[in-house]
Structure 1
Amino acid sequence: MSELLKQPHLIKKATEELDKVIGRDRWVEEIDIPQLPYIEAIVKETMRKHPVAGLLAPHLAVQDCDVAGYKIQKGTRVFINKWSIGRDSSIWDAPEEFCPERFLGKAIDVKGQSFELLPFGSGRRMCPGYNFGLKVISSTLANMLHGFNWKLPENMKNEDLSMDEVYGFATSRKFPLVAMMEPRLPLHLY
């Protein structure tokens, strides 16, 4: 929501998609999510730029191997920094910008097959709750945008919104987000 509030035109694009696909007479349901590519792109871009945890669970090399020219010896504990991967300019154009459009029309998944985006990890050490987590995040975001108009408080400008994070086991905002909302759908739906 912070990234969207910094760029209100992204909220407008998302709500246009929601109005076109869902209409304004009901809430978004789980079955609707595959028909909402812009919502999916926002979720992917958020996971790229703001991963919940900066490092994947440690992996252990079970045999000697070569990864991108680096010799990894059997028994080495390997940590993968997905925060750095998400900001790598050799992988992403303008990696510091929040741009959901970078995922439109591209087959980059979040289920561990596209190594440039690993929010849930990959392989045997992949988060077992990824499917549930993805559905909850997508449905919640879609309904927050579909059901409400969002804006910053009157005394705050988009550029004043801090994007500072606190890093630890999980990454969280350094300062809480304060936002104003008002109903967007007909009142009988609330």
Structure 2
Amino acid sequence: MFERFTQGARAVVEGAVAYAESREAPAVTDEHLVLALLDAEGTKGSFVLHALGMERQRDTVERELAEARRRGGVSDADARALAGLGVDVDAIVARAEEEHGEGALAGTARRARRRLTGHRPFTPEAKDVLEKSLRAALGRGDRSIGDEHLLLALTARPGVPRDVLAGHGLSHDAVVRVLG
């Protein structure tokens, strides 16, 4: 499948791997793909991000992704919804961290293990994004997979990255509208 990736899409995947390595993460996640996409320049994906005002949101998105990871995958929107039901997510996280240490709910250490080759594997969520990007390209009649297809996939699949991006106006519908 990677032979179908454009230079821009390959740069995003390589950037995601670099993020995982710099953070000593055991695996490349869909969050790393988001961060690498936000760093892209001169691509269709970066055009979409710029058109939707994301160029000034990178640091905020990164903080929100890290906070959701710390809360065990609960996004800000989910936390607000739970608060409406009387569930204090921050209190639960604080209690878990008090008992088991900082980042106890992040769960990344047990979800993926580095292979003996030294390469970081992709989490099932990140693999799903890559597979959905192929479907997005095929659905649009494109011969190659660009970073815009990665963006379409990230905004289409349920999860924290989609919720965080949507909170900044970067919904799947908005991406489709900008791409035309």
TM > 0.5 fold call? no
The structure with higher relative contact order (CA 8 Å, sep 6+) is 2
**TM category, shorter:** under 0.3
TM-score under structure 1 length normalisation: 0.27
More strand by share: 1
More helix by share: 2
TM-score under structure 2 length normalisation: 0.28
